[in-house]
């Protein structure tokens, strides 16, 4: 249905011909019913606190047109990276995924490369030496060859992904407060995708112009989850905010 809608509306906004799609995960509280807890799990409470039943919601969301392309509700122990990989089943060749630094993983980069899909992700510059050195270099961009470490090799082999080194691009973004962020992407063409466009590009993930619709989307997601639970367990949720 989503593909049909996009095909019927060529006027929808894009970025250099790409559909800009944010991927994000969020924990949602679910009713404390045995079957629901068994399906989704709990977040163990601290001393003198009860366990909290939670589910992991993940979305694949067109940030320019405010359209949900794919969404899933998963056990609270599910991996956000695995959820992101599942969203790629609904990605078009001209989709550009925008992800935060919680999704840094060689195997996920390899999946994007293997499927011919594109991404722009914030790197963990305070953890990876390569990214930290680039941030301190003052360079605006750099092409790198990223090799899989032994752990990444095991992950790739387990998922049936190639393990050869990846050619990627680092982009330096200086924030208004002087902080430096490092973006990592497989958009390699410098002339087609200039460095000075990436700050605004990544800002689209969190910017004020999409913040309200995006939060609204997650609110709707939460309401749908609770209605789903109430369908099977009538009366478990009586709060008016979920009706």
pLDDT, one tens digit per residue, over 150-167 is 999 999 999 999 999 999
Q: Is residue 111 pLDDT above 80, yes or no?
A: yes
Q: Which residue has the higher pLDDT, 142 or 233?
A: 142
The pLDDT of 25-35, averaged and rounded, is: 84
Q: Is residue 142 pLDDT above 50, yes or no?
A: yes
Mean pLDDT of the chain: 84
In which region does residue 145 sit, left (phi positive, over 0), alpha (psi from -120 to 50) or beta (all else)?
beta
Q: What is the Cα–Cα distance from 33 to 31, expressed in whole angstroms? A: 6
Q: Is residue 242 pLDDT above 50, yes or no?
A: no
pLDDT, one tens digit per residue, over 174-198 is 888 878 889 999 999 999 999 999 9
Distances in Å between the Cα of 117 and the Cα atoms of 24, 89, 147 are 17, 11, 19
The pLDDT of 140-154, averaged and rounded, is: 95
At 220 the pLDDT is 53
Its pTM surpasses 0.95? no
The beta strand positions in 1-65, using DSSP E, are 19-29, 42-43, 52-62
First-residue to last-residue Cα distance in the chain = 26
Q: Is 121 helix (H, G, I), strand (E, B) or coil?
A: strand
CB-based contacts of 174: which residues, under 8 Å, 6+ apart?
180, 181, 199
pLDDT, one tens digit per residue, over 69-100 is 998 889 999 999 999 999 999 999 999 999 99
Tokens of 243: 């009706």
Q: Which residue has the higher pLDDT, 95 or 52?
A: 95
Q: Is residue 238 pLDDT above 60, yes or no?
A: no
Distances in Å between the Cα of 73 and the Cα atoms of 53, 77, 163, 201, 219 are 13, 11, 30, 28, 14
CB 176 within 8 A of CB 127: no
Angle at 188 between CA 140 and CA 170, to 5 degrees: 35
Q: What is the Cα–Cα distance from 195 to 198, expressed in whole angstroms? A: 6
Q: What is the CA radius of gyration of the chain?
A: 20
Altogether, the residues listed in the chain come to a count of: 243
């Amino acid at each position: 249905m989503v593909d049909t809608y996009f095909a019927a509306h060529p006027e929808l906004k894009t970025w250099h011909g790409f559909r800009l799609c944010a991927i994000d995960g969020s924990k949602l509280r679910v009713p404390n019913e045995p079957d629901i807890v068994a399906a989704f799990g709990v977040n163990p409470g601290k001393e003198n606190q009860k366990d909290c039943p939670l589910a992991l919601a993940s979305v694949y969301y067109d940030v320019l047109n405010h359209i949900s392309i794919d969404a899933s509700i998963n056990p609270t122990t599910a991996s956000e990276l695995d959820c992101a990989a599942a969203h790629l089943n609904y990605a078009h060749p001209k989709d550009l995924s925008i992800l935060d630094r919680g999704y840094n993983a060689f195997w996920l980069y390899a999946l994007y490369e293997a499927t011919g899909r594109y991404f722009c992700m914030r790197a963990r510059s305070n953890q990876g030496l390569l990214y930290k050195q680039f941030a301190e270099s003052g360079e605006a961009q750099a092409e790198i060859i990223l090799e899989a470490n032994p752990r990444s090799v095991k992950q790739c082999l387990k998922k049936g992904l190639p393990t050869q080194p990846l050619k990627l691009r680092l982009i330096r973004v200086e924030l208004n407060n002087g902080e430096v962020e490092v973006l990592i992407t497989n958009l390699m063409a410098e002339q087609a995708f200039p460095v000075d466009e990436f700050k605004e590009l990544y800002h689209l993930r969190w910017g004020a112009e999409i913040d309200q619709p995006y939060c609204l989307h997650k609110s709707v997601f939460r309401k749908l989850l609770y209605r789903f639970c109430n369908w099977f367990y009538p009366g478990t949720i009586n709060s008016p905010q979920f009706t």
